[in-house]
Amino acid sequence: MKKNLNEIRKNLPVTGDTVSAIMRQPVVLPPDFQVNEAIERIRQVGLPDANMNHCYVVGEDYTLLGMVSLRALLVTRGGVHLKEVMAHPFVTLQPEDDQELAAQLMQEYDLLELPVVDGDNCLTGVVTADDAMAVLQEEATEDMERMAAMMPSEKPYLESSVVRMFGSRIPWLLLLMLSAAFTGGIIAHFEDALAAQVALTAFIPMLMDTGGNCGSQSSVTVIRGLSLGEVAFSDWFRVLWKETRVSTLCALVLAVVNFLRLLLMTGVGSAVALTVSLTLAVTVVLSDLVGGLLPILAKRLGFDPAVMASPLITTVVDALSLIVYFRLASCLLGI
């Protein structure tokens, strides 16, 4: 099923690199040229790029009329006019479109080159698949870096300088370290309760890690969906509903396994086991929902959704799970 072009354009991730930076100049010919004249012209001027396999038919002021593949030139009789043999380009780019759109459209429509036209439908260039492939790789790398709380780097790992790598990592580490102070504050707030039941402390890492893992599972899934144009802001309710069901299933299994493990393999009482397992279940559902919805919200607000991934969500989820933990503990354990 082909998607609507406007829909793809709308769902596109916001990044700075536009199509105009990677477009190349094609061979352009008038519509009244005959096929043998076109071939003669190509012999004279050459084709600008080994990966360009069309020439472009333009009218006055470079208005794009059509494109003719080398294959069509090859198999058509010499006397035929280009306007009779040209294909009408049903997918075009604009110079200010995101480079990722070029790659998405090529994949969507199985094309290896796309013409770029301005607002008046004048041909300004052509994007070829080799450049689009490079864009796909770069964008995927950048998304992964953002998901792991780094500023995107330009260079391959072994060629990046230590100072540059430090610079791309330290801002997020600092921010997340300071925001974790908030989590610490929650624990400090419940210090008396913890002093009464030191055993509760031992489960904090498990609760926080599981919450973090659930949050990164749903956030990475949704972020990738946004990047590939499979998920849009308007799908937020479908994401909410899907994550609710998936996380409920996960929560049930994890809570039951955890409850049984605590009862059978450790010395904690059933009240503590119940407190920990209930907290786990609530944490799993909350983390999944936060992880699934924050990237969509970020996209809507014009931020890069990948920035919302695991580390930032972990901080939110840590705080939530601790609050749930201590509230449940005070209800169930009376501390």
Q: Does position 323 bind a second copy by CB under 8 A?
A: no
Shortest distance in whole angstroms from residue 233 CB to a second copy: 13
Q: Are strands 64-69 and 54-58 parallel, antiparallel or unpaired?
A: antiparallel
d(Cα 183, Cα 189) in Å, to the nearest integer? Answer: 10
Site string for a second copy, 71-100 (x = CB under 8 A): x-xxx-------------------------
Largest CA distance in the chain: 95
Shortest distance in whole angstroms from residue 14 CB to a second copy: 19
Q: Does position 129 bind a second copy by CB under 8 A?
A: yes
Please give the residues from 141 up to 200 whose contact with a second copy meets the rule CB under 8 A.
141, 143-145, 147-150, 156-158, 162-163, 165-166, 169-170, 172-174, 176-178, 180-181, 183-185, 187-188, 191, 194-195, 198-199
Q: Does position 36 bind a second copy by CB under 8 A?
A: no
Q: Does position 21 bind a second copy by CB under 8 A?
A: no
Cβ contact 226:13 at 8 Å:
yes
Q: Does position 28 bind a second copy by CB under 8 A?
A: no
Q: Does position 136 bind a second copy by CB under 8 A?
A: yes
Cβ contact 66:87 at 8 Å:
yes
Among 14-22, 60-68, 90-98, 254-262, the segment contacting a second copy (CB under 8 A): 254-262
User: Position of tokens 């008038």?
Assistant: 30
Shortest distance in whole angstroms from residue 89 CB to a second copy: 14
Among 2-10, 12-20, 90-98, 218-226, the segment contacting a second copy (CB under 8 A): 218-226
Among 5-13, 60-68, 244-252, 294-302, the segment contacting a second copy (CB under 8 A): 244-252
| Residue of 25, 63, 201, 270 interacting with a second copy (CB under 8 A) | 201
d(Cα 331, Cα 275) in Å, to the nearest integer? Answer: 9
Name residue 33's amino acid: F
| Residue of 8, 39, 332, 333 interacting with a second copy (CB under 8 A) | 39
d(Cα 101, Cα 123) in Å, to the nearest integer? Answer: 18
d(Cα 295, Cα 306) in Å, to the nearest integer? Answer: 7
Number of residues lying near a second copy (CB under 8 A): 109
Shortest distance in whole angstroms from residue 130 CB to a second copy: 5
Running DSSP on this structure, what letter comes out for residue 61?
A: G
Cβ contact 23:126 at 8 Å:
yes
Cβ contact 314:287 at 8 Å:
no
d(Cα 64, Cα 126) in Å, to the nearest integer? Answer: 12
Q: Does position 256 bind a second copy by CB under 8 A?
A: no
Shortest distance in whole angstroms from residue 210 CB to a second copy: 5
d(Cα 19, Cα 10) in Å, to the nearest integer? Answer: 16
If the CB atoms of residues 41 and 122 are measured against a second copy, the closer one turns out to be 41
Q: Does position 295 bind a second copy by CB under 8 A?
A: no
Among 16-24, 90-98, 116-124, 242-250, the segment contacting a second copy (CB under 8 A): 242-250
Q: Does position 214 bind a second copy by CB under 8 A?
A: yes
d(Cα 293, Cα 65) in Å, to the nearest integer? Answer: 44
Q: Which of 168, 97, 161 is nearest to 135 (CA)?
A: 97
d(Cα 319, Cα 204) in Å, to the nearest integer? Answer: 11
d(Cα 31, Cα 59) in Å, to the nearest integer? Answer: 7
Among 89-97, 229-237, 296-304, 324-332, the segment contacting a second copy (CB under 8 A): 229-237
